Amino acid sequence: MIRLIRSSGLRRTAAVATAGLLAISGVVASASAASADTTLKVTYPVTGSTFIKAANFTLAVGPGKLASKVDLTTNTLTANLKLPDATGSFNDLGLVPVTATTQFINDGPTTGTIDPTTGAVETTSQITLRLVDLTVGGIDLPVGNSCETSTPATVQVTSEAGFSVITGGSLSGTYTIPDFANCELATLLINLTIPGSGNTITLTLGKAKLHH
């Protein structure tokens, strides 16, 4: 739901509301008709996947939720992505079966921009990857309670054709996974298997739910 600052006249208020609605749809250049910041609070259902290049496997993520606050005056947004633990399996070196369960932890809010003409979105997130369970060759390897990337991964995504702030759509990008730390005896094995550049991620947002 769009929050508008009331003006002294009904006609001006109607004009501001119209400008805000058109900006959401991505069919006008700005919401500059507003006398103060016009914001939109929305949540989206999220599903997706990420391809881990070093291990050569695709990990399904979600279903989760993205809560976002869009500023239609500055064409910027902040968001928080919540995803459940994700479990995936692959063969290390093409021979040894490995199953890992990963958490995606936001290190601060996601920030981004919206193109007011096209509705295209670009965002940047700082995500810590934490391994909570690891099985190699059928053997459960202890990784402790703090087995995670030594620094957050910077994940940048851009909306694909057809994306809309209202109806959702897909966003994709690439990112680098830093080395892991605090994984007990499994640290060396993990760092030989998972970290590296060239990883890809695709997130699909469903229809937006508006909030006061």
- Report how far residue 55's alpha carbon sits from residue 70's, in angstroms, rounded to the nearest whole number: 36
> Block means of pLDDT (10 residues each) for the chain, length 212 residues?
36 36 35 56 96 94 94 93 94 85 95 92 96 94 96 97 91 97 94 95 95 76
Cβ neighbours of residue 173 closer than 8 Å, sequence gap 6 or more? 155, 156, 157, 158, 200, 201
CATH of the domain at 85: 2.40.160
Expressed as residue numbers, the domain containing 202 is 37-211
| pLDDT at site 155 | 97
Whether the CB-CB separation of 157 and 203 falls below 8 Å is answered with: yes
Establish if 159 belongs to a structural domain.
Answer: yes
| pLDDT at site 31 | 37
- Based on the structure, what is the number of domains in the chain? 1
Establish if 28 belongs to a structural domain.
Answer: no
Establish if 47 belongs to a structural domain.
Answer: yes
Establish if 6 belongs to a structural domain.
Answer: no
Tens-place pLDDT, residues 44-89: 999 999 999 999 999 999 999 999 999 989 999 999 999 999 999 9
Work out the burial of residue 105: count CB atoms within 10 Å of its CB; fewer than 13 is exposed, 13-18 middle, 19 or more buried: middle
> 148 has which bridge partners?
130, 181
Q: Whose CA is closest to 45, among 61, 66, 68, 60?
A: 66
| pLDDT at site 95 | 80
| pLDDT at site 37 | 59
Establish if 101 belongs to a structural domain.
Answer: yes
Establish if 29 belongs to a structural domain.
Answer: no
Establish if 88 belongs to a structural domain.
Answer: yes
Establish if 8 belongs to a structural domain.
Answer: no
Whether the CB-CB separation of 104 and 132 falls below 8 Å is answered with: no
Whether the CB-CB separation of 109 and 76 falls below 8 Å is answered with: no
Q: Other CB atoms closer than 10 Å to residue 104's CB: what's the count?
A: 21
Whether the CB-CB separation of 84 and 102 falls below 8 Å is answered with: no
- Report how far residue 36's alpha carbon sits from residue 12's, in angstroms, rounded to the nearest whole number: 13
| pLDDT at site 16 | 34
